[in-house]
């Protein structure tokens, strides 16, 4: 599958283009907030929660921020044509070369 947003290679999947990168950034931010809620320190300086507040204007506690980020992820995925019904449409396995 040739896509300007998502590249499926033998080494994995890469999000490319503005829409694909935005989806990846939001997913990474969501997981960062989840880890911070459990007590992990994800970034050296600014926390993921304060970054979400500054960049996306998302306020509230960690749970409310995650809910708002989920809504943003759904909006960003709607911009990427490879997502159908919230799931990534992967190429057929015949297109992927076998490992030797």
**Is 18 part of a structural domain of the chain?**
yes
Tell me what percent of the residues of the chain surpass a pLDDT of 90: 41
Q: Calculate the CA dihedral of residues 69, 24, 22, 37 and round it to 10 degrees.
A: 30
**Domain span at 39:** 14-80
pLDDT, average across residues 60-71? 94
pLDDT in tens, 11-52: 666 666 777 788 888 999 999 999 999 999 988 889 999 999
Distance CA 72, CA 1 (A): 26
Please report where in the chains the tokens 């829409």 appear, as a residue. Answer: 19
Q: Is residue 93 part of a domain?
A: no
- Quick check: is 47 in a domain? yes
Average pLDDT of span 73-99 = 63
DSSP 91: P
Residue 97 lies in a domain: no
Q: Which pLDDT value is given to residue 66?
A: 94
User: Other C-beta atoms within 10 Å of 43: how many?
Assistant: 11
User: Using alpha carbons only, what angle is made at residue 79 by residues 90 and 15, rounded to the nearest 5 degrees?
Assistant: 50
Does this model's pTM top 0.85? My answer is no
């Amino acid at each position: 599958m040739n896509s300007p947003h998502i590249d499926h290679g033998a080494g994995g999947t890469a999000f490319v283009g503005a829409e694909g990168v935005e989806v990846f950034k939001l997913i990474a931010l969501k997981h960062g907030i989840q880890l911070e809620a459990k007590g992990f320190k994800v970034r050296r300086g600014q926390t993921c929660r304060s970054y979400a507040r500054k960049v996306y204007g998302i306020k509230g506690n960690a749970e409310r921020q995650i809910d708002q980020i989920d809504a943003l992820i759904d909006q960003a995925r709607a911009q990427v044509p490879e997502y159908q019904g919230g799931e990534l449409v992967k190429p057929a396995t015949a297109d992927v070369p076998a490992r030797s």
